[in-house]
Amino acid sequence: MELSISIDNPMLQTNRKLNQLFLAAVFLVLVETLSNPKVEAKPINNLQQLPTSSVIAATPAWQEFSSSEGKFSVLFPNGKVEEISQPENSNSSGIKSLKMHGVTGDKNAFIVGYADFSIDVSQVAPGELIDAFLEGMLQNESKLLSQKNIQFEEYPGKEIKVKDEKNGTIYNSRFFLVGQKIYFMMVGSIETPEVSDTQKFFNSFQLIK
Residue 132 maps to which CATH number?
3.40.1000.10
Any idea what the Cα angle at residue 182 is, between residues 181 and 183, rounded to 5°?
120
User: Does 36 map to a domain?
Assistant: yes
| pLDDT, tens only, 21-58 | 455 555 544 445 445 544 343 333 333 333 332 333 33
Q: Is residue 3 part of a domain?
A: no
pLDDT score, position 143: 86
5-9, 141-145, 182-186, 203-207: lowest mean pLDDT where? 5-9
Going from the C-alpha of 48 to that of each of 66, 67, 111, 114, 160, the distances in angstroms are 7, 10, 17, 20, 29
Q: Is the pLDDT of residue 11 over 50?
A: no
Least confident of 62-66, 110-114, 157-161, 193-197: 193-197
DSSP tag of 129:
H
- Domain span holding position 147: 10-207
For residue 203, pLDDT beyond 90 = yes
pLDDT at residue 89, rounded to an integer:
53
Closest listed residue to residue 70, CA positions, set 44, 50, 107, 35: 44
Residue 4 maps to a domain: no
Residue 60 is predicted with a pLDDT of 56
Q: Are strands 108-117 and 62-67 parallel, antiparallel or unpaired?
A: unpaired
Has residue 5 been placed in a domain? Answer: no
Examine the pLDDT at 16 and tell me if it is beyond 80: no
Residue 164 maps to a domain: yes
The whole-number average pLDDT for the span 70-81 is 93
Q: 123 near 10, Cβ under 8 Å?
A: no
Q: Give whole-number Cα distances, 28 to 23, 32, 63, in Å.
A: 8, 6, 26
- Least reliable range by pLDDT among 1-10, 58-67, 157-166: 1-10
**Angle of CA points 16, 18, 20, to nearest 5°:** 65
pLDDT attached to residue 58: 37
Dihedral (Cα; 123, 126, 130, 132), 10-degree rounding: -30
The whole-angstrom separation of Cα 22 and Cα 196 is 28
Segment (H or E) for 203: helix 195-203
Please give the residue that has the higher pLDDT: either 207 or 9.
Answer: 207
**Structural domain contains residue 160:** yes
Residue 9 has a pLDDT of 38
Least-confidence region, from 7-11, 58-62, 71-75, 145-149 = 7-11
* Kind and range of the H or E run holding 159: strand 155-164
d(CA 145, CA 173): 12
Residue 176 φ then ψ, to 5°: -150, 155
Bridge partners, residue 112, by sequence:
101, 185
pLDDT at 131: 78
pLDDT at 202 over 90: yes
User: Maximum Cα–Cα distance for the chain, whole Å?
Assistant: 54
Total domains, the chain: 1
| pTM listed for this prediction | 0.71
pLDDT of residue 62: 94
